Amino acid sequence: MALEYDLVVLGGGTGGYVAAIRASQLGLKVAVVEKEKMGGTCLHKGCIPSKSLLRSAEVFKQTKNAEQYGIETENTSLNFIKVQERKQSIVDQLHKGVEGLMKKGKIEVFEGFGRILGPSIFSPTAGTISVERNDGEENTIIIPKNVLIATGSKPKSLPGLELDGEMVLSSDHALNLEELPESILIVGGGVIGIEWASMLVDFGVQVTVVEYADRILPTEDEEVSKEVKRLLKKKGIKIVTGAKVLPDTLDKGDQVSIKAEHNGDEKAFTADKMLVSVGRAPNVDNIGLENTDIVVENGAIKTNKFYQTKESHIYAIGDVIGGMQLAHVASHEGIVAVEHMANEEPLPINYDHISTCIYSNPEVSSVGLTEQQAKEQGYDVKVGKFSFQAIGKALVYGEKDGFVKIVADKKTEDLLGVHMVGPHVTDMIAEAGLAKVLDATPWEMAHTIHPHPTLSEVMGEAALAVDGKQIHG
């Protein structure tokens, strides 16, 4: 007997479960199909566990350096098993919370792998869902009025760098390490690679980063990338940019090694483990797209601004549609999609207003255009930049490296972008995000009185610096 719902969400990750909750609030009868655990990659294999490990690495580093704060410690050691246990306890607690939210919203959760069927005896249009159940029972057939595809993404690799989970790791594998290697080679200097490099070096691992582009964090403002590289090298990380990993050079024995072309020469790199962090690919395989008219471009599902696919009753959000591939983006895409299918007339998302965060040490965050992007788009820009070295709270924390950079339109005074590197900047970027949403100017940001002493004072000083009026610099 087929079950009927107003909405079936394929994937119970951050985007999927948030969309399900919003749909429930709007009075829709909702079901979620999840092949593993509610919370998805972000909760179990990404955002939360990696940030737990990063926090442990930060505390370990601070404890070793406690003498500078007047605190004497002896024989500081790392118990990585307990680090992993703490990570798992946080994940488990949040997982229970998500399950509780499903019960609160009367949202049915089907544990299994869902596939979209074509027109059949159940429905004249594509969209009926067949669930291959985890418990081995007969497949469940679900007939929804609407479908939301939120199947997320998976780690990519490179030709010749097959992931084996032992010597050649993805970030999924690395999260479950039982012990730390003495050395690691990280292929890819983007967000994931740099977070892992920062974490592992703080744990005492010898780290080498090999990046194909001419700089690490190539999507960030160039000055931010330069500062992060300087500070990571200061920690002891070896960073090689402009390096192309050569196919079929992987060698695994007691250690793992590859060769890369760098400045016209062939160079070998060897370490105990290798972490491949070259991006993530949308999960579009085997979910029944071939039974629909849904268009897939460059491996991602194509949608309109309300996340409708070519099948108007089937929507898609999050990593599976490409784009920014961030948990907070997927959540808001899910809300917009659900409100649109419920005829609520939501506003489309302005992606220029979305903040991004990198949780390395130092942290990085940004919103809007980089200086280079602004110039490429024809803006006559003016820039304000202010260092944490002149901020009292940064000195109190013992973290004075980094800066805030504000990019503005010289003609209109409009705020174009804010870029930050330094202590706790991922917690401060929301102010800049709100400024973008409200179309604020640097003048207005400067006249927001920031309390003293706080790290947030750097925002006011950087805004003043746009017109050369900074007080402490």
Positions annotated as catalytic residues are: 452
Pairing mode of beta strands 238-240, 243-245: unpaired
Backbone angles phi, psi at 107, to 5 degrees: -100, 125
Contacts of 446 (CB under 8 A, 6+ apart): 460, 463, 464, 466, 469
Q: Quote the tokens at residue 102.
A: 């499903």
Contact 278, 187 (CB under 8 A): yes
Contacts of 420 (CB under 8 A, 6+ apart): 224, 363, 364, 365, 366, 402, 403, 404, 405, 428, 429, 432
Angle, helix 191-202 to helix 222-235, in steps of 10 degrees? 20
Task: Find, among 346, 348, 266, 359, the residue nearest to 47 by Cα.
Answer: 359
Task: List b or e across 27-50, with b for residues whose CB sees 16 or more CB atoms inside 10 angstroms.
Answer: ebbbbbbbbebbbbbbbbbbbbbb
Length of the chain: 473
Distance in angstroms (rounded) separating the CA atoms of residues 229 and 425:
17
Distance in angstroms (rounded) separating the CA atoms of residues 95 and 178:
22
Task: Find, among 398, 436, 467, the residue nearest to 66 by Cα.
Answer: 398
Burial status of residue 154 (CB atoms within 10 A of its CB: 0-12, 13-18, 19 or more)? middle
Q: Is 438 helix (H, G, I), strand (E, B) or coil?
A: coil
Q: Is 153 helix (H, G, I), strand (E, B) or coil?
A: strand
Tell me the sheet residues that pair with 30: 7
DSSP 372-426: HHHHHTT--EEEEEEEGGG-HHHHHHT----EEEEEEETTT--EEEEEEEETTGG
Residue with tokens 């079929």: 248
Distance in angstroms (rounded) separating the CA atoms of residues 202 and 423:
15
Residue with tokens 């098993």: 81
Distance in angstroms (rounded) separating the CA atoms of residues 404 and 160:
40
Distance in angstroms (rounded) separating the CA atoms of residues 338 and 22:
7
